[in-house]
C-alpha cells in the first residue's frame, strides 16, 4: 500500500511532526510505503520519500500540494490537521478545502484526516469548518471517544465517517531512572516531579509553582521539581507566560530544589528529561488530548492530571495516575505530596503505565489500526467503482 502523508515533519519542533514521524515509522515497518508531503522546514537533505513543498507564505501552496500528491499516485492520502499548520493570514486554514475538494471530485483515492485539536464543544466556525471537511473526506480520525461522541451535537448531524484511534506512544522496557536524574544534576535518590511541554497558559504550570514551597516542606528534603519546555516561536502569549513562570520560580524559598530546563527539545532530549521524573504533573486548564500524557506512560511515569476532557479518559483507562478536579488546587497539591511520598503506589502506577502502552497504544498497535482503516476505505472505494 502506498500512503501519501500530509503533515509537519522533523526537524520542525512540533508535536504533530513528532507524532507523524513515530506513526509513519511504524507503518513503514509494517511493510507499507509512505510518501511524506510536508512544510518547507521539514525533512533533511537526502531523506527519502519526504517532499518539503508546503510554503504557507505562498498563495499557491494549496495548488502545489494538490499537484504533488496527485503526481505520487497514492492508494490513499492522510492529512494531519491542526489549524496552525495550514492557516495563511486570517483564512482559517480554508486553503486546504481546494485540494481536498479536487481529490474528492477525481475520486482516485480515499482521503483521511486526523484532527489533533477537537474539544467537546466547538466554536461555531470550527464546527462549520469540520462539517465541510467531513462531507469531503472518507474518514475523520480523533484520538478520544468523547470527541467522537460530541461530533453530532457540534455538526448538527450524524457523522458516520468518524473513527477513534488513540494517540500512540513508544513502548519502552522498564528501566532504572537514576542515571537520567544524575544527567540533569540530581541525585539518584531524589524524588522528581515534572512539568514538561510548551509554556502555554492552558498548561496551568503556575498552580504547582505557586505552591512549591508548601510541597517541598511536606514532601521532604529529597523532593525536586523540573520545569522543562519553552515558548513557541512568535507566540507573544507564550512568551509572557514563560516570563511569568520564571518569575515565580525565582521568588520561591526553595528555588534551589527546582531545575529549569529551557529549550525546544529533540525527541531524544525530551525522552531523557521525562525518564528522570518519578511523577508527571499535568495541571491543565484546557486541552483536547495530550501527547505529553502518552509519552509519560511510555516512560512508565505516573501522572497527576486535572479531569479535563482529553486527560481524564486516558488516566482512567490506564489506571496509571490520579485525576483531580480542574478547580481543586488543594486536591492537586495534596495528590502530589501523597504520591511522591508513596513509593509503593508510584511503582504500581508505573507498572500499569508500561502495560497500558504495550497492550493498547504502542505505535505498532496504533499503526495496525490505521492500516486496517486504510484497507477498509480502499475496498469500499473499489466496490463503489
- DSSP run (H or E) holding 223: strand 223-229
Are 143 and 57 part of one and the same domain? yes
Are 194 and 161 part of one and the same domain? no
Can the peptide bond before residue 11 be classed as cis, meaning omega within 30 degrees of 0? Answer: yes
Are 368 and 243 part of one and the same domain? no
* Bridge partners, 77 (sequence order): 4, 111
**Whole-angstrom distance, CA of residue 320 vs CA of residue 325:** 17
Whole-prediction pTM: 0.87
Residue 47 located in a structural domain: yes
Which DSSP state fits 142?
E
Are 377 and 344 part of one and the same domain? no
Range of the domain at 120: 2-168+362-384
Number of domains composing the chain: 2
Are 379 and 346 part of one and the same domain? no
Residue 327 located in a structural domain: yes
Residue 175 has pLDDT above 90, yes or no: no
Which DSSP state fits 22?
H
Are 26 and 80 part of one and the same domain? yes
Are 197 and 148 part of one and the same domain? no
Are 28 and 117 part of one and the same domain? yes
Are 342 and 227 part of one and the same domain? yes
Residue 173 located in a structural domain: no
**Whole-angstrom distance, CA of residue 379 vs CA of residue 359:** 28
What CATH number is attached to the domain comprising 216?
Answer: 3.40.50.2000
Are 197 and 311 part of one and the same domain? yes
Q: How confident is the model at residue 176 (pLDDT cuts 50, 70, 90)?
A: confident
Q: Mind listing the pLDDT tens digit for each residue in 201-218?
A: 999 999 999 999 999 999
Q: How confident is the model at residue 65 (pLDDT cuts 50, 70, 90)?
A: very high
Are 116 and 199 part of one and the same domain? no
Q: Mind listing the pLDDT tens digit for each residue in 95-104?
A: 999 999 999 9
Residue 136 located in a structural domain: yes
Are 132 and 206 part of one and the same domain? no
**Whole-angstrom distance, CA of residue 342 vs CA of residue 244:** 31
Amino acid at each position: 500500500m502506498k500512503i501519501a502523508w500530509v503533515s509537519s515533519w522533523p526537524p520542525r519542533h512540533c508535536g504533530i511532526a513528532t507524532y507523524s514521524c513515530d506513526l509513519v515509522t511504524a507503518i513503514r515497518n509494517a511493510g507499507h510505503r509512505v510518501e511524506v508531503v510536508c512544510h518547507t522546514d521539514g525533512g533533511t537533505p537526502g531523506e527519502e520519500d519526504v517532499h518539503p513543498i508546503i510554503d504557507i507564505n505562498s498563495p499557491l501552496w494549496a495548488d502545489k500540494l494538490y499537484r504533488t500528491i496527485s503526481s505520487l499516485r497514492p492508494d490513499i492520502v492522510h492529512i494531519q490537521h491542526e489549524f496552525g499548520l495550514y492557516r495563511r493570514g486570517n483564512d482559517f486554514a480554508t486553503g486546504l478545502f481546494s485540494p481536498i475538494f479536487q481529490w474528492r471530485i477525481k475520486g482516485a483515492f480515499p482521503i483521511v484526516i486526523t484532527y489533533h485539536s477537537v474539544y467537546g464543544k466547538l466554536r461555531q466556525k470550527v464546527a462549520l469548518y469540520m462539517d465541510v471537511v467531513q462531507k469531503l473526506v472518507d474518514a475523520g480520525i480523533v484520538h478520544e471517544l468523547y470527541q467522537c461522541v460530541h461530533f453530532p451535537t457540534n455538526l448538527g448531524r450524524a457523522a458516520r465517517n468518524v473513527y477513534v484511534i488513540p494517540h500512540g506512544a513508544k513502548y519502552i522496557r522498564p528501566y532504572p531512572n537514576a542515571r537520567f536524574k544524575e544527567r540533569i544534576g540530581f541525585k539518584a535518590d531524589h524524588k522528581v516531579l515534572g512539568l514538561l511541554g510548551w509554556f502555554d497558559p492552558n498548561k496551568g504550570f503556575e498552580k504547582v509553582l505557586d505552591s512549591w514551597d508548601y510541597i517541598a516542606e511536606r514532601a521532604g528534603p529529597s523532593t525536586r521539581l523540573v520545569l522543562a519546555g519553552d515558548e513557541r516561536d512568535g507566540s507573544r502569549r507564550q512568551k509572557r507566560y514563560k516570563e511569568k513562570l520564571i518569575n515565580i520560580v525565582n521568588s520561591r524559598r526553595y528555588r534551589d530544589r527546582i531545575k529549569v530546563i529551557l529549550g525546544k527539545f529533540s525527541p531524544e532530549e525530551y525522552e531523557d528529561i521525562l525518564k528522570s521524573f518519578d511523577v508527571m504533573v499535568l495541571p491543565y486548564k484546557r486541552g483536547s488530548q495530550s501527547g505529553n500524557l502518552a509519552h509519560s506512560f511510555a516512560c512508565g511515569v505516573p501522572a497527576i492530571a486535572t479531569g479535563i476532557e482529553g486527560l481524564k479518559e486516558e488516566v482512567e483507562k490506564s489506571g496509571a495516575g490520579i485525576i483531580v478536579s480542574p478547580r481543586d488546587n488543594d486536591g492537586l497539591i495534596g495528590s502530589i505530596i501523597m504520591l511522591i511520598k508513596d513509593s509503593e503506589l508510584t511503582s504500581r502506577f508505573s507498572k500499569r503505565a508500561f502495560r497500558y502502552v504495550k497492550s493498547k497504544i504502542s505505535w505498532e498497535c496504533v499503526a495496525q489500526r490505521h492500516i486496517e482503516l486504510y484497507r477498509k476505505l480502499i475496498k469500499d472505494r473499489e466496490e463503489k467503482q
